[in-house]
């Protein structure tokens, strides 16, 4: 039986059979109307939402898809907001970049043309570039805003549109909601100014890369260690993405002479032909790089995501086997290296700080506390780390920061997670350890002995579609209204509810305010020092559970035993929460 079309869907789709939609678009919509009512419904049942991070969606025709019309309409809304915020500026400026995804270059060109049509000067990267270089460009070129076309590590069917403000960071309040309001005012392509002004578009090339790379080189803390370890063997893969040139160049610039790339994955492609998912958080995404590392007996594996803001690593364990480190472990190694080296070099004045997200390991705070470095927790999302950097600009010095989802930043000239910087500084950390006869794995164990053995695990539960969204909402209500009394045998002692913006001590009933923006996140803390964070994903149909447990590691020789105990504790936690 043929599915009946919703009249409202058919009405919206029928508008796309008329001008100003081009002939190819009209033909595709006509085909869907006549042959595929299910797909037509998916394409038109709603408008692709311009959220606080911009657009992200499957590419195709329709109001609920990423295409040149939805991109142009979003751009017109952003252009209107730029003019509203800078009314006395004759020619405000914007930087535009794009990654390796299919149609990214096309969408970036449309963005540049619509911006120019609205009298905004555009600095458009001529070829694909990593997202953090866009953040750097916004600041370096004194732009009022920025846009990068990317869907980060989503599947190949997706693309996206990330908007940045003049501080080089992704939009936060009040700009995020205000831009959304302006975009929602754009009813259709007829409201978009397509009269391109080519004279307002400047193409950025390799000369700009040189400026960015020079700033990255200035971050190096142990050039002498790198010189001694210049043959330290590194395998790198961009997984077909935008760091294909810059990471090898950056590693070479700081002195690493033995960098081997995974040739099959150096081919820039939005189809990501060698991986199921181009996400360095997924073990399979690093399999080819690890195979190459085994072949050449490398010391370190680095892998970045398509838009170059996340990095996954693999190191050798005590059996000389490659193992993957998670985002918390990599962040801990990096922050330990940075802060301890700042201390040894006499660079700590008591006016330095680091930032992490609330779901990231508490180990980072323990490291900061030992060295007297101020530390701050923020909501999930690197834009909130950038906001703290902005808050203390000219007052305090930012050493570094990161989040468990494989995003890190060193220095403050970029205001987003930066995989190019991270690859360089992680490699430097490894070379510094090697210079002392240590491996990264061995260094991590030493950190656990000194600060406590922190073990974290992320569980993502996917619930697709409208029914899935409702199920995720019900799960959050259950945990919020009926929290467990104990988790894995340990009493629940503290609940932080970021939706209510309050922290409740269950022992004495004390309620304290949380000085962070409202967010649908719950955190449970138990008497034994464990932390469980629960939050729906903002970009995927998932609810995420972050488990963090802590044990004592008195001797490195006890590592495996304590590791197993903590693993069992996390398994018990999952049973307690019935997930």
Full DSSP string of 98-121: E-SSTTHHHHHHHHHHHHHHTT-E
- Name residue 206's beta-bridge partners: none
Asked if 503 is an active-site residue, the reply is: no
Residue 2 has pLDDT above 60, yes or no: no
- 474-484 b/e (C-beta count within 10 Å ≥ 16 → b): ebbeebeeebb
pLDDT tops 80 at residue 298: yes
Within a 13 Å sphere around the CA of 504, how many CA atoms are in the beta-carbon half? 14
Reference 340, options 436, 212, 217; nearest CA is 436
The confidence score (pLDDT) of residue 148 equals 98
Is the confidence at residue 515, as pLDDT, over 90?
yes
Alpha-carbon distance values, 478 to 410, 491, 545 (Å):
39, 18, 14
Main-chain phi, psi angles of 163, to 5 degrees = -105, 140
Tell me how far the alpha carbon of residue 237 is from its chain's centroid.
18
Single out the catalytic residue among 104, 116, 152, 242: 152
Using alpha carbons, list the distances in angstroms from residue 316 to 298, 313, 527: 9, 10, 35
Q: State mean pLDDT over 513-533.
A: 95
Residue 319 neighbours by CB under 8 Å, 6+ apart: none
Radius of gyration of the chain (CA): 24
pLDDT-based confidence at 153, cuts 50/70/90?
confident
Does the pLDDT of residue 314 top 90, yes or no?
yes
Q: Mean pLDDT check: name the lowest of 88-97, 315-324, 422-431, 467-476.
A: 467-476
Instruction: Give residue 468's pLDDT.
Output: 85
Residue 469: band (very low, low, confident or very high) from pLDDT cuts 50, 70, 90: confident
Phi, psi (degrees; rounded to nearest 5) at 84: -65, -35
User: Is 33 a residue whose pLDDT tops 50?
Assistant: yes
E strand or H helix at 300 = strand 300-304
491 confidence band (pLDDT: 50, 70, 90):
very high
- Mean of the pLDDT values across residues 408-421? 98
**260-264: average pLDDT:** 98
pLDDT in tens, 345-362: 999 999 999 999 999 999
Q: pLDDT of 53-111, one tens digit each?
A: 899 999 999 999 999 999 999 999 999 999 999 999 999 999 999 999 999 999 999 99
Strands across the sheet with 311-316, in order?
259-261, 234-237, 300-304, 311-316, 322-325
Q: What percentage of the chain exceeds 90 in pLDDT?
A: 94
CB 367 within 8 A of CB 336: yes
Question: How confident is the model over 213-255, as pLDDT tens digits?
Answer: 999 999 999 999 999 999 999 999 999 999 999 999 999 999 9
Domains of the chain: 46-204 (3.40.120.10), 212-451 (3.40.120.10), 453-577 (3.30.310)
Q: How far is CA 345 from the centre of its chain?
A: 31
Rounded CA-CA distance 525/529 in Å is 7
Please report the pLDDT score of residue 539 as a whole number: 66
Mean pLDDT for 250-275 is 98
The pLDDT of residue 1 is 35
pLDDT digits (tens, 9 = 90+) for 367-397: 999 999 999 999 999 999 999 999 999 999 9
- Give the model's pLDDT for residue 3: 58
| Cα dihedral across residues 562, 565, 571, 576: positive or negative | negative
More confident residue, 175 or 6: 175
- For the chain, the average pLDDT equals 96
């Amino acid at each position: 039986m043929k599915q009946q079309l919703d009249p409202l869907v058919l009405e919206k789709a029928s508008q796309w059979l008329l001008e100003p939609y081009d002939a190819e678009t009209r033909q595709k919509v006509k085909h869907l109307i006549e042959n595929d009512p299910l797909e037509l419904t998916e394409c038109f049942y709603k408008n692709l939402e311009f959220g606080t991070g911009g657009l992200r969606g499957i590419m195709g025709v329709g109001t609920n898809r990423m295409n040149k019309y939805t991109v142009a309409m979003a751009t017109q809304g952003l252009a209107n907001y730029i003019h509203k915020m800078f009314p006395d500026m004759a020619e405000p400026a914007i930087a535009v970049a794009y990654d390796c995804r299919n149609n990214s270059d096309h969408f970036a060109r449309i963005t540049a043309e619509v911006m120019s049509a609205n009298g905004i000067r555009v600095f458009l990267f001529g070829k694909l570039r990593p997202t953090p270089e866009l953040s750097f460009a916004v600041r370096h070129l004194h732009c009022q805003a920025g846009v990068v076309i990317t869907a980060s590590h989503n599947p190949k069917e997706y693309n996206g549109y990330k908007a940045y403000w003049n501080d080089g960071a992704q939009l936060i309040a009040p700009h995020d909601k205000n831009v959304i309001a302006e975009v929602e005012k754009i009813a259709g392509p007829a409201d978009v100014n397509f009269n391109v002004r080519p004279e307002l578009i400047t193409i950025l090339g390799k000369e700009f890369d040189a400026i960015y790379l020079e700033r990255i080189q200035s971050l190096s803390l142990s050039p002498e260690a790198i010189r001694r370890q210049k043959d330290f063997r590194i395998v790198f893969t961009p997984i077909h993405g935008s760091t294909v040139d810059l990471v090898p160049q950056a590693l070479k610039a700081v002195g690493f002479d033995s960098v081997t790339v995974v040739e099959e994955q150096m081919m820039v492609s939005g189809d990501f032909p060698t991986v199921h998912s181009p996400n360095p958080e997924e073990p399979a995404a690093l399999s080819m790089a690890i195979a190459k590392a085994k072949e050449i007996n490398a010391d370190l594996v680095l892998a970045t995501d398509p838009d170059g803001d996340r990095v996954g690593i693999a190191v050798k364990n005590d059996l000389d086997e490659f193992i993957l480190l998670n985002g918390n472990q990599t962040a801990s190694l990096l922050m330990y290296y940075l802060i301890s080296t700042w201390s040894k070099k006499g660079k700590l004045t008591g006016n330095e700080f680091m930032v992490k997200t609330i779901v990231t390991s508490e180990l980072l705070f323990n490291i900061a506390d030992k060295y007297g470095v101020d530390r701050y927790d923020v909501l999930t999302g690197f834009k909130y780390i950038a906001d703290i950097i902005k808050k203390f600009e000219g007052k305090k010095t930012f050493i570094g920061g990161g989040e468990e989802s494989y995003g890190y930043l060193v220095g403050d000239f970029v205001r987003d997670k930066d995989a190019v910087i991270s690859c360089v500084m992680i490699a430097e950390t490894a070379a510094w350890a090697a210079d002392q006869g240590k491996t990264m794995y061995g260094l991590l164990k030493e950190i656990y002995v000194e600060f406590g053995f922190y073990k974290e695990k992320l569980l993502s539960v996917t619930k697709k579609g409208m029914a899935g969204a409702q199920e995720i909402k019900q799960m959050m209500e259950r945990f919020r209204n009926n929290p467990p009394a104990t988790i894995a045998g340990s009493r629940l002692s503290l609940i932080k509810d970021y939706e209510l913006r309050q922290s409740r001590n269950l022992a004495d009933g004390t309620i304290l305010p949380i000085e962070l923006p409202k967010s649908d996140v719950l955190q449970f803390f138990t008497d034994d020092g464990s932390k469980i964070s629960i939050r729906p994903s903002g970009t995927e149909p998932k609810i995420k559970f972050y488990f963090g447990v802590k044990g004592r590691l008195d001797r490195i020789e006890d590592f495996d035993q304590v590791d197993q105990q903590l693993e069992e504790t996390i398994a018990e936690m999952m049973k307690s929460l019935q997930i």
